[in-house]
Amino acid sequence: MSDLTLNTQEIGRWFRDSGDYTHNLNYDLNEDSVVMDLGGYTGVWAQQIIDKYNPNTYILEPIEEFYSGMVDKFKGNDKVRLMKVGISVENKTDKLFMGGDGTSSNIKDGKSVNVEFNTIDTVLEKWGLNSVDLIQINIEGDEYPLLEDMLKTDSINKFKNIQIQFHLGIDNDIKRRDIIRDGLKNNGFKIKFDYPFVWESWTKE
């Protein structure tokens, strides 16, 4: 089975199961919970989570247009905090290539913009967070080095639930996903749901 066929089948299964409105929102959360969204884009998922649980919500979005839109969107909610940075394995300034919800550092096509990147530990330190109940990671291929680094540094264990969209088309994508999944298991995480290269979620009980 080709990667494309696998992805097409899993996308179909995800939509048949209404995953955007079931799996991606169904967690053991409440108004005291801490939720983090890496790659907030326009804040659709964050708003759904807020509507359902009213948690303390922390959103990263490095693109000015999308960041400013969320500043307006959430301006009346003092439980939402926004940071205009991308996530990386080092603190740096680098390029992202604009592509709407597919804006990426990996697909070098279209207009490029310089943005600030922080490590996950830097972000947690800036916000004064020691633990996070749920993190969503949708960062267009950069999930691989991020999760590899989080496993290496042990920061992975600051998160109780990790919801990930792995992307195809990245060097050694299938192998790297497998290794990351093994690392999650070795750190006590269990699979919550799994639609390969669409969405999957891991939880630590």
Query: What pLDDT, in 10s, does the model give residues 23-59?
Result: 999 999 999 999 999 999 999 999 999 999 999 999 9
For 128-138, what is the mean pLDDT?
97
> Among residues of the chain, what percentage have pLDDT more than 90?
83
119 Ramachandran zone, left/alpha/beta (phi>0; psi -120 to 50): beta
Distance separating alpha carbons of residues 85 and 87, to the nearest angstrom:
7
For 170-178, the CB contacts below 8 A with 24+ separation are: 170/106, 170/141, 170/144, 173/3, 173/144, 173/197, 174/3, 176/144, 176/148, 177/144
Task: With both helix axes pointing from N to C terminus, report the angle between 173-186 and 143-153 in degrees, rounded to the nearest 10.
Answer: 30
Within 8 A by CB and 6+ apart from 202, the residues are 161, 162, 164, 184, 189, 190, 191, 192
Mean pLDDT of the residues in the chain: 92
Residue 103 has pLDDT above 50, yes or no: no
Q: Quick one: pLDDT at residue 7?
A: 82
Rounded to 5 degrees, φ, ψ at 97 are: -105, 120
Residue 129 has pLDDT above 90, yes or no: yes
Q: Quick one: pLDDT at residue 99?
A: 57
Q: What would the 3-class secondary structure string for 95-127 be?
A: EEECCHHHCECCCCCCCEEEEEEECHHHHHHHH
For 117-133, what is the mean pLDDT?
97
Q: Quick one: pLDDT at residue 97?
A: 77
For 176-183, what is the mean pLDDT?
98
Residue 106 has pLDDT above 80, yes or no: no
pTM score: 0.91
Contact present, 161 and 54 (Cβ < 8 Å) = no
Residue with tokens 């207009």, as numbered in its chain: 111
Q: Quick one: pLDDT at residue 110?
A: 64
Query: What pLDDT, in 10s, does the model give residues 141-167?
Result: 999 999 999 999 999 999 999 999 999
**Residue 148, amino acid:** E
pLDDT band at 6 (very low <50, low <70, confident <90, very high): low
